[in-house]
Amino acid sequence: VTPGSGTWAFETDFGVRMDSDKPEHIKEAIRVMARYVDILGVRTFASLSSLQDDAEERVLSAFEEYSTVPLVSLESAMEHPCQMIADMLTIRERLSETRGKTFCLRWAPHIKSLPMAVPNSAALAGALLGMNLTIAAPKGYELHERYSTRLQQLCDASGTTFQHVTSLNEIPSDCEILYVKSWGAPEFYGNPTAQTKSFESHKSWMVDENDLGSTAYLMHCLPVRRNVVVSDRALDHERSVIIDQAENRLWGQLAVLNDLRA
């Protein structure tokens, strides 16, 4: 289910007069859908109009409250747990031991603002695997404070390091995993012109073959804009694992369904 896309728009506010273009309240919609299926999958994209509103995850929370069957988040405003499972599987396939290895989540420019769900979950994947974690992004593109705090806690618990760097020359040169993802700056939400100018001013953050060094495996959740986010040479490099990563979405989803139906 993708509310407002695969269906008509749902009203998500409570105690309001429903005289707008939203003909069904989410409270009824969720309970009805739960009568038809054994498991509900819901995708609730970020609005990209207010980081605070996105962080509240109101639609996902409503599904959690009113669904009477198991619920799978296919991506929410702030997290993408199914992608995270595939990412963790991909990393484990490539590294015999993850603890103490280095994971770098690197921001890259784009042509439009994108949500923080994948980068948040990618960083969590690295931390949960016991890896030293670096978030590399220009000023203004920091992760939400809730996730920075959680990442620091996870790294502290596993005895690994966590840092956020804002310049390209601070990125570790010996990372084993280089995870590339674009996301928008919260200060530019609702202002596409300013966001585009920011992307243009950070074109040098596009990832190229040389950025892989001699040790890094390149990861990206796909789809990816070639020669905007990552160069052809990097995507086609022998240490690019993006296709394996995409395949692992299948096995990750099957594992989730198998667990819920066991």
Peptide bond preceding 23 in cis form (omega within 30 of 0): no
CATH code: domain 10-75 is 3.40.50.1370
What global pTM score does this model have?
0.94
212-215 contact pairs (CB < 8 A, 24+): 212/178, 212/237, 212/239, 213/173, 213/174, 213/175, 215/174, 215/175, 215/176
Domain ranges of the chain: 10-75, 81-247
Fold of the 81-247 domain:
Rossmann fold (3.40.50)
pLDDT at 1 over 70: no
**Residue percentage of the chain with pLDDT more than 90:** 94
pLDDT at 2 over 80: no
pLDDT at 224 over 80: yes
| Burial state string for 64-91 with b = 16 or more CB within 10 A and e = fewer than 16 | eebbeebbbbbbbbbbbbbbbbbbbbbb
10-75 and 81-247 agree in CATH topology: yes
